[in-house]
Structures are given as structure tokens and as C-alpha cells.
Amino acid sequence: MVARVFLHIGLPKTGTTYLQGILWENKERLRDEGVVLPGRGHREHLWAALDVQERKHLERRDPRAPGSWERLCAELDATPGGTGVVTHEFFCGAGPAQARRAIERLAPAEVHVVVTARHAAGMLAAGWQEMVKNGSRTDLHAAAAADTRSEFGWRTWDLAGVLERWGDVVPPERLHVLPVPPRTEPPDRHWRNLAGVLGLTGDYPVPEEAANPSLGAVQVELLRRVNAHLGSFSSALDRGRWIRGHLAEGHLADQAGERLALDDDLLADCRLRSRRAVDLIAERGFAVVGDVETLLVPEALAPGRDLGSVTDAELLEAATQVVGGLLEDVRELTVQRDRLREESGPAVPSTVRRAARVLRRRRGD
């Protein structure tokens, strides 16, 4: 069994994709430092996070998803000494009993919980946007008011709630809070903070560009409305690849959009949530790496657009740009398909026709 395990539980939208990308890209380099990242990829840690929460019908995501948590733990059990790292932002949605069982399963290893965090206003704006990028039609106020156990909602966005649930199952010195560094810090500061907690001393290459780009207010509202017409994109794979990946990050993120700003009532609620979290950190004595004051909503926020100010004309302009880009995609794919047909002979067209017939039957055409 590894001697120590660092369980990085999120929160969502706190640079987790960036941090996880560095870890997975350097899996062998981590092993050289005695750090094991169990499993074969990021998706297994996602499944494990849902498995810990006892989510039903995990097999619908992938036949390999059920039992993912136990498989990761078994790999850590079989590793003599050193350090294990498990990381996914959905772990933070676990309830108190689920969190306790997860920590107990990792015994006798010394378990540390790592929470990357940001203030509640940034969390709400970014979290709702992520909902929309994953196919949601829910508007911002409805998302902020919802009482849900989903990974998209205050269950995972509210730092104080997460710290209360997980802070009861490890000693305070083993619960590490890493605020997302401000833009005035070096671009690799977030990674350096995590690497310090994990005890890494090597030089790890970091990406030059941020992962998971944001959308502007106009662009995210357009996507929310388009989602109403994407009912056939019902699987997590479809939503992630086509709505989030191709449409949102592949096209809408390229548009020059203005930052989303919250209405005054949402902002007031976020200020209260952030204050409660910072007070809890001080009261419980959790280990903070960075400036805890950045977890409070600033009095003066960067300028932005509230959704009520978005006009139909702006939505139309953004939509026409997207249609143009998608048409270029279709042209490029068609050229590639035709080239493959010419190079491969008649077998490719017949295969394409058979696939098209199967697709039409599934759709009921």
C-alpha cells in the first residue's frame, strides 16, 4: 500500500483541467518521484468520483465505469510505499458518509484532501457556463436557486459546504485549500502550489495556454438557447464531444465576447457564501497555500455584461458566425471523405452507405 494518498476533490472550475492535464502528461515522471497516478486516464477518475457517490446506472456512461473507485484503490493497495494521487472535481459532491467511506477505504495510508477553490461569484458564473457547455437549458437564476445533488450546482460550487463535509473526515492539517492565484501571479503558480503540497521537486512542463476556455455573455446565452434543439445529444460522450468540445470551445470560444457579470441579488448571495467559507477555514485551521483573502468576492469586480442586457441582434450576429464556421467544417470533412474514397476504391463508399442506413434506422427516418 502507498504510504500517503492525496485526494484532489475539486472544486469544479478551479483550474482542475489544467492541473490534471499536467499530472496525466507526466505520469511516468511522477513515478520517478515515487508518485503513482492510478488508472489509465482522466476518465477513470471521473467514474470513480461518481462511484464514490453511489450514482446509479454508471454503466450507461461506459461498461467499465462501475467499480472504478475500487479498482483505483486496489492499484494503490498493490503499490509498495510512495504516494498516490487521485484527482477529479466531482469528488467534492460526496455526502458526509460517502466521504468518510472513501477515506476509510484508503487506510492505512495517510490521506490528505486537496481543495482548489475560488470565490463564489466566479464559481457561479463559471459553473453555470459549464452546465450550458454540457447541454443545459437552465437559465442562470434558476441554476443558482436549484437544490440539487448534481455536480452542477451549489452542492459542488459552495466551498463552505464542501469543507464541512470533507473537513470532518481528515485532520485539519491534512485538508489543503489552494485558492486559484490571481492573474498578477506567474502563470504556473497554481501548478507550483499543488506540486509543493504533493512533495514534487522535479521540473514539470506546463501548458502555455489555459485549458477549458470561457465564453462571453452573448455566446453562452446563444449556446443555452441552441441546447433546446439538441435533444438527440443525450449521452455524456455526445455532450462532451460535440456541444462542449466542437460547438462551445471549437467555435463560440473564438468569438470576442464580453465577460459574464452577475446581477446584484446573485452577487449578494455569493458574498455571503464566500465569507462563510473564509470564516470556516480560519475557525477549523485548514492548511491554506496561497492568499485566503482571494476567496472573498472583491468589492470591485471586473466589468462585464449581465444576461438581461444581451440583445437579439447580438445573438443573431454570434449565430451567423457559428453557422459560417460549421459550414467550413462540413466542407473540410467532405473533402477528406471524398479523398479517402478516391484513394481506397469502392469499399469506402459502400461502408459509408451502410453506416448511413444504420443511422437512418436508429433515427426512425
What 3-state DSSP class applies to 115? strand
Domain of 62, CATH number, reads: 3.40.50.300
Domain boundary among 302, 332, 350: 302
Question: DSSP for 11-43?
Answer: -TTSSHHHHHHHHHHTHHHHHHTTEE--SSSHH
Q: How many CB atoms lie within 10 A of CB 352?
A: 13
Do 336 and 298 share a domain, yes or no? no
Do 269 and 343 share a domain, yes or no? no
Structural domain including 277 reads 4-212+263-302
Domain membership flag for residue 24: yes
Q: Name the strand (E) or helix (H) holding 95.
A: none
Do 271 and 338 share a domain, yes or no? no
Domain membership flag for residue 244: no
Domain membership flag for residue 153: yes
Rounded to two decimals, the pTM is 0.88
What is the pLDDT at residue 151? 84
The length of the chain in residues reads 365
Residue 235's closest CA among 21, 61, 55, 36? 61
What 3-state DSSP class applies to 97? helix
Domain membership flag for residue 231: no
Domain membership flag for residue 271: yes
pLDDT in single tens digits along all 365 residues of the chain: 999 999 999 999 999 999 999 999 999 999 999 999 999 999 999 999 999 999 988 998 899 999 999 999 999 999 999 999 999 999 999 999 999 999 999 999 999 999 999 999 999 999 999 999 999 999 999 999 987 778 889 999 999 999 999 999 999 999 999 999 998 999 999 999 999 999 999 999 998 766 678 899 999 999 999 999 999 998 888 999 999 999 999 999 999 899 999 999 999 999 999 999 999 999 999 999 999 999 999 998 989 999 999 999 999 999 999 999 999 999 999 999 999 988 886 554 555 555 555 555 555 55
Number of domains in the chain: 2
Residues 6+ apart with CB under 8 A from 337: 352
What is the pLDDT at residue 155? 94
Do 335 and 285 share a domain, yes or no? no
Residue 157's closest CA among 135, 128, 191? 128
